[in-house]
Amino acid sequence: MAIITAATTAPPSAHKRAGAARQQWIGLLYVAPAVALVVVFFLIPLGMTAWMSLHNWPLMGEHSFIGLGNYVAILRDTRFWNALRFTAYYTVIVTIAIFVVAFPLALFVERPRPLTNLYRTMFFMPAVVGFASASLLWSWLLNVDSGLFSPAAYDLGLIDRKFNLLATFQPAFWSIIAMVVWKVAGFTMIILMAGLQSIPQDLQEAAVIDGAGPFARFRAITLPLMRRTLALALILSVAGSILAFDQFYIILRGGPRNQTLTAVYWIFNQSFVSFKLGYGAALSMVLLVILVALSLVQLWLLRKPEGLD
Amino acid sequence: MRNLIAKLTLAAAVLGSGLGTAAAETANIWVRADGSNFMPRIVDAYNKAHTNQIKLDIIPNAEIIPKYGAAAAGGTAPDALSLDLIYTPSFAAAGQLEDITDWAKSLPYFASLSPAHVKTGTYKDHIYGLPFSADASVLIWNKKLFKQAGLDPEKGPANWAEIAADAEKVNALGGNIKGFYFSGNCGGCNIFTFTPLIWASGGDILSEDGSKATLDSPQLRGAIDLYRSMVKKDLVPAGAQTDTGANFFAAFAAGNIGISPSGAFAIGALNTQYPDIDYGVTFLPGKDSGWSSFAGGDNFVVTKGTTKLPVVKEFLDFAYSLEGQTILAKYGSLPVRGDIAKEALKDLDPRYQIAAEAMAKGKTPYSVVFNDLINSANGPWTQMINEVFFGDDVDGAIANAQETMQSIIDQAPQK
């Protein structure tokens, strides 16, 4: 960092400019493999998606260019906008739920105390399970006839008739929230813990000497100094939730009564159930734009304020 | 080096010209996982008896359509495939299939091929698919539970009132025994086993050519009332409400369900995997009398432009022979040739005869958007059946489904 700053602020001279240019070429060489990966696996597919979105492109048969026809159709596609509304609702709820669970966990495992490593591992474990496998596990746990929750409550005499958790919206939705929090909170906890540990201890001690209580210290020192960590955790959580699909597909099939269809689920349905690949591509582009915009807004909201390092 | 190349070229030339027409050719065929029992057997039998060979690939049910679409786009589609018959119209409409009208009509037994298959295999008066495997929907009952409940174990229900009464008696045995089972959140299961109740009573859910949705009928409402009343009386396990088809067969096979609508496939599956279950097979009845069945199974379709058409024809000829039909029947598919069905089934479980009879009179809805309308877990049919069986607003659910289905039909590409 220091070298680059020195190079750019030094007075320009022909010799140094040539050196800088060579350095830049070497730099480009170093990042070339990464650039190649991004081009091949991100930019080209993205370009193809954009190209397909301008076509009527069935899974089978001929495709034809229709300009912005797919995008016009999206404007009238109420089921997509409903799916998007549900996705937004889910994202807000699940992000809050994850932070409400992960922040206390991070505070709990941050300081060295007996068995800290055990706790950290325990809380983190579900994060290493894939979403699909976790969904399969929970769809068994939630099954009313042969699962765990409902039959256990029935056998313990807590309820007098087995209750199908997945049959109506509220219990089904909150079951998914519980599953996602169980699966993701450990990962968010690790990110937040790293942020907490990067706060210099002397700041906290100085505040204690000045007579600040724990809440004041948390609000005036911990939170501001964790801005960037929070931004990272927030963007990961929001982006992940907007792209949610596996759990709703595997556990609920978009039910009960299509009330839990997410945006990605709708794209999947249009592409691989209705075989309209072009339309699915157009929907993906719309979702991409929304996602990029949201991430920019979050980065701007959590940008580094002036005078704070 | 030059010498070697010359030799190789010569060898290739000799191979190419010398063997020429006599060379054995290999055609590639795909089948969905539902056919994984009978398909390898019939392919083996064919390969042993012929110089031409068939290479078989088995593809998971849910993936065969997208995979085939991708393969066709990339020019690597199989020469032919055994395709869920309800997809034949949409594949034909997409211009993906070889027109086999002349060949089909030249078959001496063309008139006795399963009519439901031929109907779905026909698009705009041309034939693109011929019957390959068949499955008919039937009603099965547990004889042991019937006997325990004081019912005649040899007599299955013959109308709706008897279904409800028998289910209630079996349910009264208590414990974890339930009277009736159906997969309440599975569109494909219920088009297979629920619509025959409507057909047998004289109603239908789609017009003959698939251009109109006709949901709002007294027959549909009557059949809904039958299921609703059983749900209300607690004769159906709670899990039925959210079963997307995973328990369609397994629930009855566990041995504590009195009656369940099912398919001919269950006969083979119960006999081989659950030999302890003593069960009976009967037709899916109408409200007061009569019966009907969904004629399901696969159509055999040929990819447009394939060079292996002679091999594919030879294979299908073999499948239609008595030997071929017997192999199919023995490993889980009903015969598709009506004229030799009895003979192909004569050494098998007599319960197959009921299913074969059901098949012969079976119906299949015709639509180029069947997947969107019926099979999709998020389509209007699946949503409606779940709402009308378990929800509070039957009228609203029917009206909503009618409207959505009609709009999907109207928006389908017209070619």
pLDDT over 80 (residue A264) = yes
Task: Please name the member of B95, B239, B386 whose beta carbon is closest to the beta carbon of A145.
Answer: B239
Q: Do B95 and A62 touch (CB under 8 A)?
A: yes
Best-predicted range by mean pLDDT among A123-127, A146-150, A217-221?
A123-127
Chain B stretch 29-68, residues whose beta carbon is closer than 8 A to a beta carbon of chain A: 65-66, 68
Q: What's the confidence (pLDDT) of residue A148?
A: 92
- Residues 6 or more apart whose CB falls under 8 angstroms from that of B200 comprise B283, B284, B285, B286, B287, B290, B291, B292
- By mean pLDDT, which of A21-25, B12-16, B93-97, B365-369 is the weakest? B12-16
Task: Considering only residues B18 and B241, tell me which one the structure prediction assigns the higher pLDDT.
Answer: B241
Which residue ranges make up each domain of chain B?
26-135+296-360, 136-294+367-411
Set of chain B residues whose Cβ sits within 8 Å of the Cβ of A267: none
Tell me how far apart the alpha carbons of residues A281 and A276 are, in angstroms, rounded to a whole number.
Answer: 9
Domains annotated for chain A, with CATH where assigned, are 1-52 (no CATH), 70-301 (1.10.3720.10)
Set of chain B residues whose Cβ sits within 8 Å of the Cβ of A258: 378, 383
Domain B26-135+296-360 matches domain B136-294+367-411 at the CATH topology level? yes
> Is B183 an 8 Å CB contact of chain A?
no
Q: What is the mean pLDDT of chain A?
A: 88
Q: Tens digits of per-residue pLDDT, B189-214?
A: 999 999 999 999 999 999 988 889 99
> Is B4 an 8 Å CB contact of chain A?
no
Tell me, what's the ipTM?
0.75
> Is B182 an 8 Å CB contact of chain A?
no
> Is B413 an 8 Å CB contact of chain A?
yes
Q: Do B96 and A61 touch (CB under 8 A)?
A: yes
Q: What is the mean pLDDT of chain B?
A: 89
Residues A191-203, mean pLDDT to the nearest whole number: 90
Q: Do A258 and B383 touch (CB under 8 A)?
A: yes
Residues A93-107, mean pLDDT to the nearest whole number: 95
DSSP chain A: -HHHHHHHHSPP-HHHHHHHHHHHHHHHHHHHHHHHHHIIIIIHHHHHHHHHTTEE-BSSS--EE-TTHHHHHHHH-HHHHHHHHHHHHHHHHHHHHHHHHHHHHHHHHHS--TTHHHHHHHHHGGGGS-HHHHHHHHHHHT-TTTSSHHHHHHHTTS-SS---TTSSHHHHHHHHHHHHHHHHHHHHHHHHHHHHHTS-HHHHHHHHHTT--HHHHIIIIIHHHTHHHHHHHHHHHHHHHHT--HHIIIIITT-STTTT--HHHHHHHHHHTS-BHHHHHHHHHHHHHHHHHHHHHHHHHTPPPTT--
Task: Say how many C-beta atoms besides its own lie within 10 A of residue B50's C-beta.
Answer: 14
Task: Considering only residues B412 and B398, tell me which one the structure prediction assigns the higher pLDDT.
Answer: B398
Position of tokens 């393969």? B71
Residues A285-305, mean pLDDT to the nearest whole number: 87
The CATH code for residues B136-294+367-411 is: 3.40.190.10
Structure tokens at B238: 């709670």
Shortest Cα–Cα distance, B180 to chain A (Å)? 15
Nearest CA in chain B to A172: B242
pLDDT band at A14 (very low <50, low <70, confident <90, very high): low
Q: Do B237 and A145 touch (CB under 8 A)?
A: yes
Pick the residue of A59, A60, A245, A248 with the most B CBs within 10 A to test the interface with B by mutation: A60
Set of chain B residues whose Cβ sits within 8 Å of the Cβ of A272: 65-66
Residues B289-302, mean pLDDT to the nearest whole number: 94
Shortest Cα–Cα distance, B20 to chain A (Å)? 33
The domain B26-135+296-360 is placed in CATH, from the list 3.30.1380.10, 3.30.300.250, 3.20.190.10, 3.40.190.10, at 3.40.190.10
Shortest Cα–Cα distance, A152 to chain B (Å)? 15
Q: Tens digits of per-residue pLDDT, A233-247?
A: 999 999 999 999 999
Shortest Cα–Cα distance, B198 to chain A (Å)? 23
Task: Say how many C-beta atoms besides its own lie within 10 A of residue A226's C-beta.
Answer: 23
Parallel/antiparallel/unpaired status of strands B126-127 and B291-292: unpaired
DSSP structure class, residue B337: B
Residues B46-55, mean pLDDT to the nearest whole number: 94
pLDDT over 80 (residue A18) = no
Over pLDDT 70: what percentage of chain B? 94
Pick the residue of B378, B404, B409, B415 with the most A CBs within 10 A to test the interface with A by mutation: B378
> Is B412 an 8 Å CB contact of chain A?
no
pLDDT band at A2 (very low <50, low <70, confident <90, very high): very low
Shortest Cα–Cα distance, B164 to chain A (Å)? 22
Q: Do A60 and B73 touch (CB under 8 A)?
A: yes
Shortest Cα–Cα distance, A186 to chain B (Å)? 30
Set of chain A residues whose Cβ sits within 8 Å of the Cβ of B241: 164, 167
pLDDT band at A114 (very low <50, low <70, confident <90, very high): confident
Q: What's the confidence (pLDDT) of residue A17?
A: 67
Q: What's the confidence (pLDDT) of residue A8?
A: 45
pLDDT band at A307 (very low <50, low <70, confident <90, very high): very low
Q: Tens digits of per-residue pLDDT, B238-284?
A: 889 988 888 899 899 999 999 999 999 898 889 888 999 999 999 99
Q: What's the confidence (pLDDT) of residue A218?
A: 86
Shortest Cα–Cα distance, B241 to chain A (Å)? 7
B210, B412 Cβ separation under 8 angstroms: no
Tell me how far apart the alpha carbons of residues A155 and B191 are, in angstroms, rounded to a whole number.
Answer: 36
Task: Please name the member of B91, B238, B413 whose beta carbon is closest to the beta carbon of A144.
Answer: B238
pLDDT over 80 (residue A305) = no
Chain B stretch 284-323, residues whose beta carbon is closer than 8 A to a beta carbon of chain A: none
Pick the residue of B242, B304, B370, B385 with the most A CBs within 10 A to test the interface with A by mutation: B242
B102, B316 Cβ separation under 8 angstroms: no
